[in-house]
A and B are shown apart, each in its own frame.
Chain A
Amino acid sequence: MDLEFLINTLSLGSLYALLALGLVLVYGILKLVNFAYGEYIMIAGYGLYFSATVLHMPWWATMIFGVAAAVLTSYLTELAAFRPVRNKSANALIVTSFAVSIFLQNAVLILVSPRARAVQLPPIFSQTVNIAGATTPVRNLLIIGTTITVLILLSLLMKKTVLGMAMRAAADKFTTTRLMGVPANLVISAAFIISGLLAGIASIFWIGRSASVDPVTGAAPLLIAFIATVMGGMHSPTGAVVGGFVYGLLFNVLSITLPASMISYRDAFMFVIVVLFLLFRPEGIIKGGYTEERVG
């Protein structure tokens, strides 16, 4: 196989895996399909824009600023919107997250501008490197490295710490976990904070591809996260990661094989493939246990 194709697919898959992972962490515990997730990515993008382009901070400070903006937004939306409707119906939760998403988009539209803003990123994001005859942007390698690091840290957190174990238990049987003395608010807040953190990290690389941000930046990554989680399996972080990589592979294969006249229908093709796949395996690639229970 072509090395360039391999690196491209791995980096795209890494990015998509990060996106999907942030979504599935909250879904696992709250059974909430978070439509506002894309907006965390958008807010992180504006965090990068303000710190880098407006305030001229050093590059490491802009990254922290951007990620912190996403984490804060994620936590605040949990406090203000999701906590009060948590024990209502599943549709109420989803519609709430949709309303939060619309609110954040329009708040940015009013407060900043409807037009796209250029984000200054460190030069390493636009450089390319040559590996064994294959030319590839450095950021593709950066994202593969970042994703591996994040995945290792996250699995350590989930497996070795009390918080992580509580979160895994809550994703499995929330009521039982609460009976064991685990505070519900803490676990859910932690899930939202980690979700925001992953959105922030993914945002750096998402924004890094176009070097600009606008109020609807969040829509595309949200959709990718949706499809990747559905395809991989909504019930486990492993499913999300697998889904992300499979989606990245599918995207690249379609980009290469579709004739030029059909390339604008690529997204439609992707979703049709995913829907067809779900017909045969509605639970996704990675099966989970019995998880009908919702937070109540």
Chain B
Amino acid sequence: MSLYARFLKFAQKHSVLPMIMIPVVLVGIGVNVFGSSLLLNVYTYFCVSLIMVLGLQMFMGNSGILNWVHIGFVGVGAYASGILSTAPMVKSMGVPNMFPALVELNMPVIPAIMIGGLVAALLAAIIGYPLMRLSDFVGVITLFATLIVFHVIMTQWDNVTNGPRTFFGVPEFTTLTVALIGALIALVVAYWFRESGLGLRLRASRDDRYAAMSIGIDVVRVRYYGFITSALVAGLAGGVWAHFITSFSPKAFYISEMFILLSMVVIGGSGSISGAFMGTTFVTIGRELLRQVEGTINNAHVLSFEVYGLTEAVMAILMIVILIWRPGGVVGGQELRWPLFKRNKPSVTKEVSDGV
């Protein structure tokens, strides 16, 4: 095989990355140059969501475990990064009960986000091992309960999080460029994870737990490493998000936000990076449109009541329809490949003979 042919093969094998990254960057440049401030916000939010969704896909898509706690790790990252980087003056005003040692902390934003990710990963490492032993439905319910534990602690521990009240004054740092770079890094990391030996073993454990064990895969261990990696990405995403939104409360890291992330992963298809990307795109566009409709209806005062919750209700119906129609999501667990459409599909036997 010539070097050129080898390069072509390599490029085609990994063509999913440029196929997602190039449009993301091009649209990003377009929005930055021509977009309104609303569009700029939406696109930044899209990029941050993409980081969170890719983190969720890394674990959920490869292991098949419905990871409810994901948004909790996003919250841990957001609070950690916020506490580390917010000016002591602002903190002593905004969070009157905060531990003095925490008030003193003040560091630049980038290391703060990094440490936020590490804190989330560390927490995942502490709680993950027992959780990863539980499979199926007990596992789902236990992870769900863990999210509630996270939420209870965030709303009650007012020495750290300001309790149920808003934590404000986080320095603004995340511009569109920062979010875009974050999303690109997350894409590479998620793809690398998927192609790595760990990702492969994780998928083996998803498809058949007992078969995976029988060929020597330590199912609990690969899940554990996957869980920590995913939590690290979630924590970093939380930090990036915190420096974009600048004030937040524990409500932002709970079931309704998890529903948005989950709808992104499910509608696109949790099995692949392309699915996570498509889902994030569709859901972001859909939600923005629905929100406009909701706002228009409420502002026009044609109805005697306000239609709160229209966006969520329609997204829920959409999600059910997708699950009935294509339970694997729009992409169906496949990655985008170049070329998108082949004129005549080569048969399986031909591919095998080519390989040999």
Taking CB atoms, residues of chain A closer than 8 Å to B17 are: none
Find out whether the CB atom of A114 lies under 8 angstroms from the CB atom of B308: yes
Residues 246-290 of chain B: 1 if any A CB is under 8 Å from the residue's CB, otherwise 0?
000000000110010011001000100000000000000000000
Whether the pair B327, A226 counts as a contact (CB closer than 8 A) is no
Are the CB atoms of B307 and A110 closer together than 8 Å? yes
Give the interface centre of A27, A89, A95 by most chain B CB atoms within 10 Å. A95
Nearest B residue to A111 via CB reads B305
Partner of B145, one of A84, A271, A282: A271
B99 to chain A, nearest CB (A): 16
Which of A27, A81, A113, A267 is the one whose CB lies under 8 Å from B137?
A27
In B125-149, the 8 Å CB interface with A consists of: 130-131, 133-134, 136-138, 140-142, 144-146, 148-149
Option from A89, A96, A106, A234 in Cβ contact (under 8 Å) with B313: A106
Please give, as numbers and ranges, the residues of chain A lying within 8 Å of B317 by CB-CB distance. Answer: 99, 103
Q: A162 within 8 Å of B by Cβ?
A: no
| A236-270 to B contact mask, C-beta < 8 Å, 1/0 | 00000000000000000000000000001101100
Q: Which of A85-107 contact B (CB under 8 A)?
A: 85, 88-92, 94-96, 98-100, 102-103, 105-107
User: Which B residues are in CB contact (< 8 Å) with A102?
Assistant: 256, 259, 312-313, 315-316
- Please report the C-alpha to C-alpha distance between residue A276 and residue B133 in the assembled complex, in whole angstroms: 12
Give 7 nearest A-B pairs by CB, closest first. A106-B309, A103-B316, A109-B309, A106-B313, A88-B327, A84-B324, A99-B319
New contact pairs (6) apart from A89-B327, A91-B270, A109-B309, CB-CB < 8 Å: A98-B259, A106-B312, A110-B308, A114-B308, A268-B152, A278-B134
Asked if A69 CB lies within 8 Å of chain B CBs, one says no
| Cβ of A31 under 8 Å from chain B | yes
Instruction: Tell me the bound Cα distance from A226 to B324 in angstroms.
Output: 25
B51 sits at the interface (CB 8 A): no
A105: chain B residues at CB < 8 Å are 309, 312
Closest Cβ of chain A to B226, distance in Å, is 16
* Majority secondary structure, A binding face: helix
List the interface of chain A (C-beta within 8 A of B).
27, 31, 33, 81, 84-85, 88-92, 94-96, 98-100, 102-103, 105-107, 109-110, 113-114, 219, 223, 226-227, 229-230, 234, 264-265, 267-268, 271-272, 274-276, 278-279, 282, 284
B320 at interface, CB cutoff 8 A? yes
Interface residues in B22-74 (C-beta closer than 8 Å to A): 64, 66
Contact A103 B153, CB 8 Å, known A92-B327, A226-B145, A230-B141: no
- Whole-angstrom distance between the alpha carbons of A88 and B134 in the complex? 22
In this assembly, does B323 line the interface, its C-beta being within 8 Å of a C-beta of chain A?
A: yes
B-chain residues with CB within 8 Å of residue A96 when the two chains form the complex: 319-320, 323
A103-B313, A109-B309 known; A85-B324 Cβ under 8 A: yes
* Residue contact A107 to B313, C-beta cutoff 8 Å: yes
